[in-house]
Structure 1
Amino acid sequence: MSDTTDQTPTTTPFVSIIIVNYNGGELLTRCVLSALASQQIDFEIFVVDNASDDTSLATLRAAVHNDKRVTILQNERNEGFAKASNRPIPQTRGQYHLFLNPDCLIQPDTLYRFCQTLAQYPHVGMAGALVRNPDGTEQAGSRRGTPSPWRSVVRVLHLDKLLPNHPRFKSFVLTQEPMPTEPTEMEGISGACMFVRRQAMEQVGTMDEAYFLHCEDLDWFMRFRQAGWTILFIPDIEVTHIKGACSRRHPIRVLWYKHRGMVRYYRKFFRQQYPIWLQWGVITAVWIRFAMLLLIQSILRKS
């Protein structure tokens, strides 16, 4: 992305980190400690707990003691990811917000490098990092296109593999594409690590709380781009994501929320763009996929 402006912040940036926890175990503490090691940038951390019943909060409190940079907010019930993420925003002070999953680990210079990059790109409303699996490979959602109904058909039918060089049959998962060498505009980044400019968030609005779990990030990406803000992928900022730590105990429930979110997302953004037969075909395919995965889960639990 070459159209940078030589712009530096007039004041020292301040970052508000928001971490939503649900039975994150010791990974929550590792996540918060990695953020507390941040250098060169002033920050605050809000941990919003969705009524966890494990020892994750007790372990965290023992590790951070009375560190005033960390505020813990406890919900009486599981409010879902979007609503919990939105909860602390009225009391945050940051010009930037980092929405970070509790099973992510950042580096001491992560906040500084995010702030430094966004200062050079004033039209960027949100940025993401190169998100890696624990084995060092790039995670599938690290950089992605918009999962429109057509692209979903392409992915389900593997048309991208049958016709890999045809632009009409490209998947929304971009991990097979060459890695950019500089910050690059993307349609979507990983929802596990979203660095958001407050000015943009105030214009676009917070996450849609009608999504309980999954697809709220896709919704946000669409709304940011519709409002004229750019989403940036920064390949030289790396985050480790130990995926699924908060959802392993309830895999079927997570599958339900994910597929319900997909249906809402398609209806919200693509209702006017696609013929009704394709819309209903994709929605039917979503629920067939859910039924198949549910059957597989049931078989695995019995075996």
Structure 2
Amino acid sequence: MATELKAGEADASYGMVESLVSEVAVLIVGYRNSQDVVDCLRALSRATTSPAFDIFICENGGRDAYHHLVSALVSEEGPCRRGQSYGTGIDGNSRFTDVQRLSLRARSSTVWVGCAFDNLGYAGGINAWLRPLSAIPTWRAIWILNPDTQPTASALAALHERAQSGQKAMVGSTILDSLDADHVRFRGGISWQRLAARDVAIGLGELLDVSCNIVAVEGAMDSPSGASMYVTRWCIERIGLMDESYFLFYEDMDWGLRARHLGLGYAVDSIVVHKRGTTTGSARASSAIPVLSVYLQHRNGVRFVRRHFPWSLPLRVAVSLMYAFRFLLQGAPNNSRAAVAGLVAGLKGEMGRPKERIAQ
């Protein structure tokens, strides 16, 4: 079950009470990809002045990765200025072993960088900041960004405006593969094909400069794209936190589907470039996709279907077997085995972080 967000429930405030938090909290989960995070923060530094935002980063890759990330952020070429360190053992309930408070050089935004005590997974990294944020009254929405994204200057403003004008619980962006791309990767987000037991990107391959029917896009959405999810506070207070049992893959889809009845929106002018695959390997050749990614995609696909569309479980099994066969034909036997192993693990009900031998 998803964790509930309750007023006043927090692991630690880390001084956030004293400084308060801006209207939007930008949440980023990294895993040993400091350059992606640096580039993302450089892009955020160029954002329009309204709405104001602060940034909260969870580094899941261990202490070395955490120190490397902080050093990259505050280097001479980095987007941040060094601030206060909160050291280790801040709070017995904390999921961070160390927290650094930095600030953007180009604007008055605070940047909090937390070192997770372990690899918490994607949802765990988001929730690690949402819990202490629940004690802070000032923020009104969060913006979840993949670390390998670069939003344009008006991306956040467009999301904020669509949420307010349309009274939307969650809002998605226009996702591109590059800033000069002619075609769209996502319009807003994802639609779940119930009769095929799989998700599809809305607007995939459409020309960027061709007008679209925003109402139709919003009607088709089952979730915003996890690369850029704007989520209102009132939505989180109603549906709870992300479900950490997925660890990686499908947690964003699960969250979006749980919020669908509250209203999903599409901000067409919120342009976000997503360097696909740098965090999960999804853009690589079949044989180079990490085994862990394949395993979790198929394990969690079963979990997602069981929760939301249990009648389509046989279809989902067939989809995973089809992928396994395709991996085999493409000369990727390890990923073929990983797809089958993930399918079996999902049918057995495995949740959370997978076995270490799979994760390596």
What is the TM-score normalised by the length of structure 2? 0.66
For the pair 1:245 / 2:278, whether they are aligned, the reply is: yes
**Aligned partners of 1:138 and 1:172: how far apart in 2?**
10
- Provide the residue aligned with 2:3 in structure 1: none
Superposed CA deviations along residues 120-168 of structure 1, whole A, max 9, x for unmatched, are 122x1000110001151311575332232x1337x9xxxxxxxxxxxxx
Say whether residues 1:78 and 2:126 are aligned partners. Answer: no
- 1:285 corresponds to: 319
Q: 2: distance between equivalents of 1:298 and 1:118? A: 43
1:108 aligns with 2:143: no
Relative distance call for 1:78 and 1:61 in structure 2 (3 A) is: farther
Q: CA RMSD in A?
A: 2.9
Whole-angstrom distance in 1 between the partners of 2:334 and 2:177 = 24
DSSP 3-state at the match of 2:112: strand
Contact 2:191 2:201 in 1 (8 A): yes
**Residue identity opposite 2:177 in structure 1:** N
Q: Residue 266 of structure 1 aligns with which residue?
A: 305
How far the C-alpha of 1:29 sits from its partner, in A, is 0.3
Structure-1 residue corresponding to 2:106: none
**Cα distance in 2, alignment partners of residues 132 and 172 from structure 1:** 12
Q: CA separation in 1, counterparts of 2:73 and 2:247?
A: 25
- Give the superposition deviation at 1:203: 0.3
Q: Secondary structure at the match of 1:65?
A: strand
What's the offset of the Cα at 1:294? 6.7
Matched with 2:176 is: 132
- Partner AA of 2:319 in structure 1: A
Determine which structure has greater relative contact order: mean sequence separation of CA pairs < 8 Å that are 6+ residues apart, divided by chain length. 1
Separation of aligned partners in 1, 2:57 and 2:270: 23
Change beyond 3 A, Cα 1:25–1:291: farther
- Counterpart-to-counterpart distance in 2, 1:229 and 1:141: 19
Q: Percent identity?
A: 23
- Alignment CA distance shift 1:41-1:294 (3 Å): farther
For 1:85-104, what aligned pairs fall within 5 Å after superposition? 85-92=126-133, 93=136, 94-104=139-149
Aligned ranges 1:155-194 → 2 under 5 Å: 173-175=202-204, 179-180=211-212, 182=214, 184-185=217-218, 186-194=221-229
Taking the aligned partners of 1:290 and 1:86, their CA distance within structure 2 comes to 32
User: For the structure 1 residues 146 and 299, does the alpha-carbon distance in structure 2 shift closer, same or farther, using more than 3 Å as the test?
Assistant: closer
What displacement does 1:32 show?
1.4
Shift of 1:264: 0.6
CA distance in 1, matches of 2:188, 2:214: 15
Distance 1:295 1:21, change over 3 A: farther
Q: 1:239–1:181: structure 2 CA closer, same or farther, 3 Å change rule? A: same
Q: Please tell me the residue identity of whatever aligns with 2:143.
A: L
Q: Conserved in 2, the CA contact under 8 Å of 1:23 and 1:246?
A: no
1:91–1:293 Cα change, 3 Å:
same
Structure 1 residue 117: Cα displacement: 2.2
**Whole-angstrom CA distance in 1 between matches of 2:214 and 2:322:** 40
CA contact (8 A) 1:263 1:286 kept: no
Deviations 1:105-127 (A, max 9, x none): 112222222222222122x1000
Q: 1:144 aligns with which of 180, 184, 190?
A: 190
Residue 258 of structure 1 aligns with an amino acid whose one-letter code is Q
CA contact (8 A) 1:51 1:76 kept: no
How far apart, in 2, do the equivalents of 1:193 and 1:85 lie? 13
Aligned residues: 265
Residue 231 of structure 1, aligned match among 264, 271, 275: 264
C-alpha displacement of 1:234: 1.5
**What amino acid maps onto 1:293 in structure 2?**
F
Which residue of the other structure, out of 19, 28, 35, is the alignment partner of 1:26? 35
